Amino acid sequence: MADNHSDAKSDSPHQWPEKDRRTTFWEKWSPFPWRVTIILLALPLALACIVGLAAAAETVSQGYIMGRDCYPNGLWKEATGATWRIMDSSYFFTPNLSFGALTFTQVKVIDVAWDLIIGRGGQLLLAWVNYRVFNEWLVYHMEMHHTSYKLYAAVAFETTTVATLGVLGKEFLAYGACTWKRLFRWLALFSMLLSTLYVIAFPTLMAAMTGYITTYQPYVEDFDGNLMEWGRLKRVIYMIEDADRVGLEAPLIVTADDQPLIDAVHHYTGQFDDWSSTVTEIQSSDAKVLSIDYIYGRGSNITNGTMNGNITADWVFDGRTTSTFRSLGIAIFDTEYFEYSSREKLSESTQLLYAQYAFEKRPDANHSYTGYYLLDHGSCKPSETYQWGFSYIFLFMVSIFNFVWVCIMVGMWLDTRRGSMMYRSGRRPGLLRSIMDYSAAIREELGNETNYLEEDELRKRLTESKGALVVEKRELRVTRTSTGEVMKRGWKRGLTSGSSF
């Protein structure tokens, strides 16, 4: 019986069933233009930061500066023209967003470190971005326009220098046919001019945006011409006209810090059925010191419906009790009317101007002051510590400058990426590639004798040649061409003919 099984091998290879391989996340999304999307999203993000800074200005002013007795510009908050508004022009160069209580050495180290790391380091970063974007755009420019040897050398080899500003300025002034291409060239050169100027000025702007200021403390000049700290001024609560009747110096001023005396007054007045509480009466609104008449509050008891002022009451203070036959004359400065807040200005409240302030632990009437006196004799004096910080106005300006610079870089990069044949072919100019293209074009322009010419002679020959650099259509290399221009005639023609050696 024949065996149907055969050991013979098939000529065709064995086909294993192919399993479906799942596409990875990166393979699925790699065609997506991530780079363009991220850059485009960065623009509204940068703009949002600027809007956020503007919106936060008022909040920062109120929370950071308004409650101070001395403002960052050294003015006492009661002084004429003093303001806590963070965008006020008086703070243009003043670091009103400052912090710390540092020594001079400490703030100087911070300031120098900022200038070196942020100022110079930031300039290097911005200059590198300028170099990459401008050189890529330069090749795109040569695909559409004649490009002078001087413009190529300035952008490719001296991208961020004062000399390049001059070259870009001359190219900006050069005129030609009124076409859309010419208009976009003019806008690009203007953007390059602004960008280069900003990068050159960047360290100076960073230094002007920051700085250090001394801290200030408020002082008031007393009647003897001595300066006393603002913190020693205490609001007057009571003034006892005849305090000598209870063994104290008369007249006696009771301040907000004299809690034992305040308790003694409350205990004393609480012994009367009726106490006529009155406030002070000002003789004249021009009163600068405590030259006022008092209407004193006096107490009486009621017996069978009749007022009885001749009573005996106890004054308890400092562990000692003293009896008085007739009530004491106590002037009351009502706290509801004369409450003082650090966020409130004396000059903005008539009641505060008439309120009394005193200093020393047990002040007398000769060491008390009205609000008018404080306004005339108060000021801020520098202390021994410093603060380092930012000028908000300059910070806001630099934020806008950064946003404009980013827009220029992104706009030029996207324009080059979209329209440049060389860019789409993978051409990315660098230092060595630029040197090779430039030297090859000069050799083509001047011939073999180029190797033996000195710098001045090379410049002269290139100026007289009237040649330019281009990228011909359907070619992927930089070459020279003749512009066919005649010699310059007159200063006006020289100013508007573009850059040349």
Query: What is the per-residue pLDDT across 57-97, written as a single tens digit (0 to 9) for each?
Result: 667 666 778 878 888 888 888 888 888 888 888 888 899 88
Are 265 and 326 contained in the same domain? yes
**Mean predicted confidence (pLDDT) in 296-319:** 70
At 303, the pLDDT band (50, 70, 90 cuts) reads: low
Question: Is there a domain that residue 247 lies in?
Answer: yes
Q: Of 491 and 295, which is predicted with more confidence?
A: 491
Nearest to 195 by CA among 136, 123, 146: 123
Residues near 56 by beta carbon (within 8 Å), at least 6 away in sequence: none
Which of 332, 358, 384 delimits the end of a domain?
358
Residue 248 shares a structural domain with residue 163: no
Q: Is residue 375 part of a domain?
A: no
Does residue 247 sit in the same domain as residue 314?
Answer: yes
* CB of 262 closer than 8 Å to CB of 237: yes
Least-confidence region, from 6-10, 275-279, 417-421: 6-10
pLDDT of residue 500: 76
Q: Is residue 370 part of a domain?
A: no
Residue 41 has pLDDT above 50, yes or no: yes
What CA–CA distance (Å, rounded) separates 426 from 310?
109
Q: What is the mean pLDDT of the chain?
A: 80
Q: What is the 3-state secondary structure (H, E, C) of 443-477?
A: HHHHCHHHHHCCHHHHHHHHHHHCEEEECCCCCCC
Query: Taking the complete model, does pTM exceed 0.75, yes or no?
Result: no
Do 475 and 409 sit in the same domain of this protein?
yes
Q: Is the dihedral of CA 434, 435, 436, 437 positive or negative?
A: positive
Asked if the model's pLDDT at residue 341 lies above 80, the reply is no
Residue 372 forms part of a structural domain: no
Tell me the range of 194-208, 225-239, 283-297, 404-418 where mean pLDDT is highest.
194-208
Query: Does a structural domain hold residue 225?
Result: no
The pLDDT value given to residue 387 = 93
Domain termination site, one of 338, 358, 378: 358
Same domain, 195 and 66: yes
Name the token pair of 452: 């033996």
Let me know whether 183 and 53 are in one domain: yes
Are residues 65 and 143 located together in one domain of the fold?
yes
Phi then psi for residue 470, to 5 deg, are -145, 165
Task: Give one DSSP letter per residue of 36-87, joined into a string.
Answer: HHHHHHHHHHHHHHHHHHHHHHHHHIIIIITT-SB-TTS-BTTSTT----TT
- At residue 116 the predicted structure's pLDDT band, cuts being 50, 70 and 90, is very high
Q: Which residue has the higher pLDDT, 139 or 55?
A: 139
Q: Show which of 358, 385, 416 is a domain's final residue.
A: 358
Residue 333: its pLDDT value, please? 72
Residues 170, 92 share a domain: yes
Q: 208-260: per-residue pLDDT in tens?
A: 999 999 999 999 888 778 888 888 888 888 888 888 888 888 888 888 888 99
Is 13 contained in some domain?
A: no
Provide the pLDDT for residue 375. 84
Do 73 and 173 sit in the same domain of this protein? yes
Would residue 34 count as lying in a domain? no
- Is it the case that residue 133 has pLDDT exceeding 60? yes
User: Looking at the structure, do residues 297 and 403 belong to the same domain, yes or no?
Assistant: no
Instruction: With respect to residue 117, please indicate whether it lies within any of the assigned structural domains.
Output: yes
Three-state SS string across 83-141, please?
CCCCCCHHHCCCCCEEEEEECHHHHHHHHHHHHHHHHHHHHHHHHHHHHHHHHHHHHHH
Residue 283's pLDDT band (boundaries 50, 70, 90)? Answer: very low
How many Cα atoms within 13 Å fall on the side-chain side of residue 97? 20
Contact 159, 196 (CB under 8 A): yes
Side-chain-side CA neighbours of 137 within 13 Å: the count stands at 24
- pLDDT band (50, 70, 90) for residue 1: very low
pLDDT digits (tens, 9 = 90+) for 397-412: 888 898 889 889 988 9
Number of domains in the chain: 2
Q: Which residue segment(s) compose the domain that 103 sits in? A: 39-210+393-496
**444 close to 149: Cβ distance less than 8 angstroms:** no
Q: Which amino acid is at 389?
A: G
Question: What single DSSP character describes residue 256?
Answer: T
In angstroms, what is the C-alpha Rg of the chain?
A: 41
Q: Are residues 310 and 343 in the same domain?
A: yes
* Inter-residue contact 222 to 233 (CB < 8 Å): no
Instruction: Give percent above pLDDT 90 in the chain.
Output: 28
Q: Give pLDDT, residue 29.
A: 63
> What b/e sequence results for 186-217 when a residue is b if at least 16 CB atoms lie within 10 Å of its CB, and e otherwise?
bebbebbbebbbbbbebbebbeebbbbbebbe
Residues 182 and 53 placed together within one structural domain of the fold:
yes
